[in-house]
């Protein structure tokens, strides 16, 4: 019975196959596309969980919805004591690195130390419940911390009015979460692609150098320091002082079993340096110390968000920038470790869950959190099995805030600068820059542009250069994709680019072209000199393969109509092959199919060529 229902292409005629193209169902309306996008983002397994059983009660469907929203409810059923043992070790190791780094990154963001620790509590807990990565470690990171301090200081002065500065940072964090969640809900991840991987590599190298130079202030105890973020200004401020060294991680690299050495080294450094300052009273001799660190749990910051006044637009703009940078970094590190362990990362869910965690963080005294390269590597090396390691880390930070926060009073600022410096080599990937140069020179231009912009201008200029070059590359590739002239490969039914396959032969009197990609490029394609010139000779038909054309706009349709008129005036017919769903739908609405004739719409290039030859349209 099953074999009788199978329709073989040999059993159908060319006319029937053309009708398949013409009679394809209409695409869903816009509202339904948006609804489907929301459903697939919030309920990625909705068809399996919510619709698989019609006998489910209301509570059953509600629980299925919660499972889709919080994946932890699904995989936690199979959670074992063995996995918890691994996650516990990884979480504790992660906390030993997270605590000193969070304090250091808070100083980089120009907020009080406790806010860095707060950011290592709420966002990781929410991500553990909603995220799809098993390895990524959530918390404050150097790049975003520097970006915040660089952009927010132009609106609020952290020295003159630290409370207003802090409140504005929370507001920026709220908008960051809103944008990230929106990217996930409406599947706008392509916006993150405007900051290409190559541009991100250059941006992070430049930012790492700037961060390192800025930390010389705390490392060397310089009191008068520039607030600018370009290399020249920073070097001028540091010129009067000498360099200091920081510890290496060679032993841990040689012996993987010693992964905990670099992880606990920052914490041990904090403990030892604090004891030394306390016992020697070095703070009396001019050594800068942290002083008061407020302990206890996160306090609500709902009433501190600023949604009134003239700077709301500025907060939204900064939030958008932070959203893109934070997502790009998190997706890069998440996908890297997911590929190593062989599981799939849901990009839209990642954006949505990170948006929710930052929204919740902005309401609980946290600033922008994302995935950390260095801490994720430690989490992976420590043998984490699930995101429970993030929960263990967050609970450890809570315990630290409750019991030991006051002991940080004598911690020297120099050790925080050293901790930040020790994390920077992981952001500088010279090998990746060499690889980009080898593979794609235009990508390398984006990499160098971002690097130079950050290093010699500012973070904003570097980011602007990176996005501009990346956007220009995408625009060039989509607007001028080129037209491929196709020929039949001998002894096959395949039609391929004659430039790539010189053995492919063209059919006399027939030109077969293929639009390589894009949706808004028909106007340029139909004005190509090759088409105009070749259609003047003995050509009697032009076949346009539309397989790769995903969409078409009104300008493209008008351009097709102009081309059709010019070809008709020369006695040349125009045929279309395999137009996609949206394309054929719009062409039918515009009555373009009626103008060229339904008999000139085909499923394959071979059928179009054979039809032209059998109809004696082309001349030998």
CA distance to 130, 268, 295, per residue, from 51 (Å):
21, 53, 48
Q: Is the pLDDT confidence value at 514 over 50?
A: yes
**Residue 260: what pLDDT?**
57
Least confident of 46-50, 84-88, 338-342: 46-50
Q: In 45-161, which ranges are continuous DSSP H helix?
A: 46-49, 58-69, 72-75, 81-108, 113-118, 122-130, 142-152
Distance CA 223, CA 238 (A): 11
Kindly state the DSSP code that residue 519 receives in the 8-state scheme: S
Three-class SS state of 237: helix
Question: What mean pLDDT do residues 266-272 have?
Answer: 87
Kindly write down the DSSP assignment for every residue of 426-484, as one continuous string. Answer: GG--HHHHHHHHHH-HHHHHHHHHHHHHHHHT-HHHHHHHHHHHHHHHHHHHHH---EE
The tens digit of pLDDT for each residue in 365-396 reads 999 999 998 899 889 888 899 999 999 999 99
Distance CA 544, CA 411 (A): 71
Distance CA 60, CA 66 (A): 10
**Residue 22: what pLDDT?**
80
The alpha carbon of 380 is separated from its chain's Cα centroid by a whole number of angstroms, namely: 21
CATH number for the domain running over 483-614? 3.30.750.24
H-helix or E-strand containing 544? strand 541-545
Higher-scoring residue by pLDDT: 171, 284: 171
Cβ pair 199, 450 in contact under 8 A: yes
Least confident of 29-43, 65-79, 274-288: 29-43
Residues sharing a CB contact under 8 Å with residue 506, sequence separation 6 or more, in sequence order:
485, 486, 487, 488, 498, 512
Reading the block at residue 399, the tokens are 């315990």
Least confident of 120-129, 243-252, 354-363, 448-457: 243-252
Least confident of 405-414, 440-449, 508-517, 577-586: 508-517
Cβ pair 37, 184 in contact under 8 A: no
pLDDT, averaged across the chain: 82
The tens digit of pLDDT for each residue in 157-192 reads 999 999 999 999 999 999 999 999 999 888 877 777
**Residue 144: what pLDDT?**
94
Kindly write down the DSSP assignment for every residue of 95-128, as one continuous string. Answer: HHHHHHHHHHHHHHTTS-HHHHHHTTTHHHHHHH
Cβ pair 412, 287 in contact under 8 A: yes
Distance CA 150, CA 169 (A): 11
User: What residues does 602 pair with on adjacent strands?
Assistant: 577
φ, ψ of residue 305 in degrees (nearest 5): -70, 140
Cβ pair 218, 107 in contact under 8 A: yes
The alpha carbon of 8 is separated from its chain's Cα centroid by a whole number of angstroms, namely: 43
Question: What mean pLDDT do residues 578-596 have?
Answer: 91
Distance CA 262, CA 265 (A): 5
Question: What mean pLDDT do residues 339-360 have?
Answer: 90
H-helix or E-strand containing 265? helix 260-280
Higher-scoring residue by pLDDT: 261, 552: 552
**Residue 195: what pLDDT?**
74
Reading the block at residue 145, the tokens are 């911390």
Distance CA 153, CA 109 (A): 10
Kindly state the DSSP code that residue 543 receives in the 8-state scheme: E
Cβ pair 99, 117 in contact under 8 A: yes
Cβ pair 125, 391 in contact under 8 A: yes
Residue ranges, CATH 3.30.750.24, the chain: 483-614
**Residue 470: what pLDDT?**
79
Q: Is the pLDDT confidence value at 455 over 60?
A: yes
Burial code (b: 16+ CB inside 10 Å, e: under 16) for 398-422 equals: bebbeeebebbebbbbbbbbbbbbb
Q: Is the pLDDT confidence value at 352 over 50?
A: yes
Distance CA 513, CA 545 (A): 6
The confidence band for 616, taking pLDDT boundaries of 50, 70 and 90, is low
Among the listed residues 469, 458, 364, the one whose alpha carbon sits nearest the alpha carbon of residue 151: 458
Among the listed residues 336, 404, 409, the one whose alpha carbon sits nearest the alpha carbon of residue 376: 336
Distance CA 593, CA 353 (A): 45
Question: What mean pLDDT do residues 52-60 have?
Answer: 64
Reading the block at residue 48, the tokens are 């399996």
Helix pair 347-362, 30-42: axis angle to 10 deg: 80
Among the listed residues 107, 92, 93, 98, the one whose alpha carbon sits nearest the alpha carbon of residue 416: 107
Distance CA 151, CA 197 (A): 23
pTM of the model: 0.74
Q: Is the pLDDT confidence value at 41 over 90?
A: no
Distance CA 338, CA 160 (A): 45
The confidence band for 482, taking pLDDT boundaries of 50, 70 and 90, is low
Distance CA 328, CA 373 (A): 12
């Amino acid at each position: 019975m099953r074999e009788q229902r199978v329709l073989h292409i040999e059993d159908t005629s060319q006319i029937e196959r053309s009708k398949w193209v013409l009679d394809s169902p209409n695409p869903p309306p816009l509202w339904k596309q948006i609804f489907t996008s929301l459903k697939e983002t919030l309920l990625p397994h909705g068809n399996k969980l919510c619709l698989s059983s019609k006998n489910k009660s209301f509570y059953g469907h509600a629980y299925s919805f919660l499972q889709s929203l919080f994946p932890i409810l699904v995989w936690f059923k199979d959670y074992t004591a063995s996995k918890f043992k691994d996650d516990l070790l990884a979480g504790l190791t992660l906390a030993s690195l997270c605590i000193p780094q969070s304090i250091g990154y808070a100083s980089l963001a120009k907020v009080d130390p406790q806010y860095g620790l707060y950011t290592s509590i709420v966002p990781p807990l929410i991500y553990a419940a909603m995220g799809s990565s098993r390895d990524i470690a959530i918390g404050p990171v150097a790049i975003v911390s520097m970006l915040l301090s660089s952009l927010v200081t132009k609106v609020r002065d952290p020295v003159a009015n630290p409370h207003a500065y802090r409140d504005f940072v929370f507001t920026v964090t709220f908008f960051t979460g809103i944008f990230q969640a929106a990217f996930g809900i409406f599947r706008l991840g392509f916006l993150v692609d405007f900051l290409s991987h190559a541009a991100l590599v250059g941006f992070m190298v430049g930012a790492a150098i700037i961060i390192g130079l800025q930390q010389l202030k705390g490392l060397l105890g310089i009191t008068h320091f520039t607030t600018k973020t370009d290399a020249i200004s920073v070097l001028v401020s540091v010129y009067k002082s000498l360099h200091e060294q920081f510890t290496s991680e060679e032993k841990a690299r040689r012996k993987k079993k010693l992964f905990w050495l670099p992880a606990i080294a920052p914490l041990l450094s904090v403990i030892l340096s604090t004891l030394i300052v306390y016992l020697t009273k070095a703070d009396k001799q001019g050594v800068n110390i942290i002083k008061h660190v407020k302990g206890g749990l996160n306090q609500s910051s709902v009433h501190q968000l600023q949604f009134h006044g003239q700077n709301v637009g500025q907060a939204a703009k900064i939030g958008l920038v932070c959203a893109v940078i934070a997502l790009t970094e998190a997706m890069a590190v998440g996908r890297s470790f997911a590929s190593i362990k062989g599981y799939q990362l849901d990009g839209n869910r990642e954006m949505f869950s990170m948006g929710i965690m930052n929204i919740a963080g902005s309401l609980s005294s946290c600033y922008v959190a994302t995935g950390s390269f260095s801490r994720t590597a430690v989490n992976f090396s420590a043998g984490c099995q699930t995101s429970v390691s993030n929960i263990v880390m967050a609970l450890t930070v809570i315990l630290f805030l409750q019991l030991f926060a006051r002991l940080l009073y004598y911690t020297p600022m120099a050790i925080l600068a050293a901790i930040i410096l020790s994390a920077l080599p992981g952001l500088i990937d010279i090998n990746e820059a060499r690889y980009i140069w080898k593979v794609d020179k235009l990508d390398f231009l984006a990499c160098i542009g971002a690097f130079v912009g950050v290093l010699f201008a500012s973070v904003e200029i570097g980011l602007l250069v990176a996005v501009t070059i990346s956007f220009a590359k995408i625009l060039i590739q989509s607007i001028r994709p080129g037209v491929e002239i196709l020929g039949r490969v001998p002894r096959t039914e395949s039609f391929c680019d004659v430039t790539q396959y010189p053995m492919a032969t063209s059919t006399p009197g027939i030109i077969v072209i293929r639009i390589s990609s894009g949706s808004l490029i028909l106007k340029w394609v139909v004005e190509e000199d090759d088409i105009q010139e070749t259609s003047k000779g003995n050509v009697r038909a032009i076949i346009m393969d539309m397989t790769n054309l995903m969409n078409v706009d009104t300008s493209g349709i008008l351009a097709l109509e102009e081309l059709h008129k010019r070809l008709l005036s020369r006695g040349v017919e125009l045929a279309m092959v395999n137009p996609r769903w949206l394309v054929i739908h719009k062409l039918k609405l515009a009555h373009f199919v009626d103008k060229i004739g339904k008999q000139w719409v085909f499923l394959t290039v071979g059928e179009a060529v054979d039809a032209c030859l059998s109809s004696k349209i082309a001349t030998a």
